[in-house]
Amino acid sequence: MTLQIIQNPLEKPTFWSIPESSLTASQLADKTATLKQRLLDITARFSDVRFATSLAAEDMVITDAIAQSKTNIQLFTLATGRLHQETVDMAKTTEDHYGLPIQKVYPEDADVEAFIDQYGMNGFYDGEVAKKACCGARKIKPLNAALLGADAWLTGQRREQSTTRVELNFEEHDGARGITKFNPLFDWTEADIWAYIKQENAPIHPLHLKGYPSIGCEPCTRQVKKGEDIRAGRWWWLQSDSKECGLHINK
Question: Using one digit for the tens of pLDDT, what is the confidence trace for 188-226?
Answer: 999 999 999 999 999 999 999 999 999 999 999 999 999
Strands (E), 53-202: 73-78, 102-105, 152-154, 171-174, 179-182
User: Catalytic residue at 245?
Assistant: yes
- Provide the pLDDT for residue 5: 43
- Give residue 22's pLDDT: 87
**Nearest one of 193, 146, 165, 163 to 50, comparing CA atoms:** 146
Task: Let me know if 201 is exposed, middle or buried by CB neighbors in 10 A (0-12, 13-18, 19+).
Answer: exposed
- What is the structure's pLDDT at 2? 43
How buried is 214 (Cβ within 10 angstroms: 0-12 exposed, 13-18 middle, 19+ buried)?
buried
pTM: 0.90
Query: Domains plus CATH for the chain?
Result: 25-109+141-210 (3.40.50.620)
Say what angle helices 190-200 and 57-69 make with each other, to 10 degrees.
Answer: 50
Q: Residue 84: how many CB atoms within 10 A of its CB? A: 18
Of the chain, the percentage scoring pLDDT greater than 70 comes to 89
The active-site residue out of 134, 217, 220, 245 is 245
Between 5 and 221, where is the model more confident? 221
